[in-house]
Amino acid sequence: LIFSFEEAVALKQEPPQIKEELDEQELLQIKEEQEQLCISQDEEQLDLKQETDTLMEIPTYEEKLTSTTEEDTDPQNRDQRKRRDRSHVHNLFSCKKCEKSFCHITNLKRHMRTHTGEKPYSCKECDKRFSEISGLKSHMRTHTGEKPFLCEECNKRFGQTSVLKRHMRTHTGEKPYSCKECKKRFNEISALKRHMRTHTGEKPYSCKECDKRFAQASVLKRHMRTHTGEKPFLCKECDKRFGRLSSLKTHMTTHTGEKPFSCKECDKNYRQISYLKTHMRTHTGESHFSCKECGKSCSQISDLRKHMITHTKEKPFLCKECDNMFGRLSSLKRHMRTHTGVKPFSCKECDKNFSHKANLKKHIRTHTGEKPYSCKHMRTHKGEKPHSCKECNRNFTRISKHTRTHTGEKPFTRQKL
Q: Give the alpha-carbon dihedral of 199, 204, 208, 214, to 10 degrees.
A: -30
Q: What is the pLDDT of residue 376?
A: 67
Span 242-264, pLDDT tens digits: 999 989 998 999 899 899 899 99
**Over 50: is that where the pLDDT of 327 sits?**
yes
Residue 387, φ and ψ in degrees, nearest 5: -100, 125
- The CATH number that domain 317-368 falls under is 3.30.160.60
DSSP 124: T
Domains 121-172 and 317-368 share a fold: yes
Q: What does the domain layout of the chain look like in residue ranges?
A: 5-63+87-116, 121-172, 317-368, 378-407
The Cα–Cα gap between 376 and 358 comes to 21
Band of the pLDDT at 297, cuts 50, 70, 90?
confident
The Cα–Cα gap between 18 and 11 comes to 13
Residue 68, φ and ψ in degrees, nearest 5: -85, -170
Span 360-397, pLDDT tens digits: 999 999 999 988 877 766 777 777 888 889 889 998 88
Tell me which CATH homologous superfamily contains domain 121-172.
Classic Zinc Finger (3.30.160.60)
Span 119-168, pLDDT tens digits: 999 999 998 999 999 889 989 999 999 999 999 999 999 998 989 999 99
CB 385 within 8 A of CB 399: no
Band of the pLDDT at 89, cuts 50, 70, 90?
very low
Residue 3 pairs with which residues in a beta bridge? 93
